[in-house]
Amino acid sequence: MAMSENAKKLRGSSWAENVRTIAYALLIALFIRAFLFQPFFIPSSSMESTLLIGDYLFVAKYSYGYSKHSLPFSPPLFSGRIFDDEPERGDIVVFKQPIDNHTDFIKRVIGLPGDTVQMKDGVLYLNDKAVPRVRVDDFIYRDPTGNVRRIPQYRETLPNGVSYITLDMIRDSVWDNTGVYIVPQGHYFMMGDNRDNSSDSRVPDAVGYVPFENLIGKAEVIFFSANGTASFWEVWKWPWAVRWDRIGKWVE
């Protein structure tokens, strides 16, 4: 009888220990996601060729401090940011879409508070000065049927020296010429590197100016990438689907 009672106590103790271990693991995972790193999946082509559909990357949550959007479901615990540090031109940032404060977007910071931004004949102008760009090798795009398309690429260099590649998919597109945008204080102007295929700050009813509070973090490193023929969990398909050369690549 005593042996049976001891066995029950041992089983109960083991079950309680397992529950505590799982609870600790969940709390640690929540802490890491809320304050250190959050995984993010690239679902669209708006940041090509810098980021491709199927890239998985880590976003550094501490880069710009913390707001309510740093936590899952954006609980209204406080307003503004704490431990804030402003982004720089050229940073690739994940943020909450200002229209609904719910959807995660990823774009590049182009305009800072007080800047003027405009596109003229496909050239980016910051504070009435053309941002230098140089033609580089074409981006090779392959559609799901195997057809190949060559898309012109340009290396653009911002006033602070940050340099990156942009795509020019459509000659004389609607976004090649815009009005002048004046970035309000406390806001940022975001653009996709795929200039003709990006809903960004040029589109007021899609994104518009992004409040500082809406920034979630800075994109840092790609930890997984697949070409669309396999999901993250389909390990048996990895040899043919994974873009091995992109894993561990820093986002610039």
Which residues are marked as active site?
Answer: 46, 107
Angstrom distance (rounded) from CA 174 to CA 162: 26
Report, in angstroms and rounded to the nearest whole number, the Rg of the chain calculated over CA atoms. 23
What are the beta bridge partners of residue 93?
107, 218
Sequence-distant (6+) residues with CB within 8 A of 213 are: 67, 68, 69, 79, 80, 81
Please choose, from the candidates 207, 108, 115, the residue with its C-alpha nearest in 3D space to the C-alpha of residue 156.
108
Angstrom distance (rounded) from CA 26 to CA 22: 6
Angstrom distance (rounded) from CA 18 to CA 22: 6
Say whether 237 sits in a helix, a strand or coil. helix
Sequence-distant (6+) residues with CB within 8 A of 97 are: 103, 104, 105, 206, 207, 214
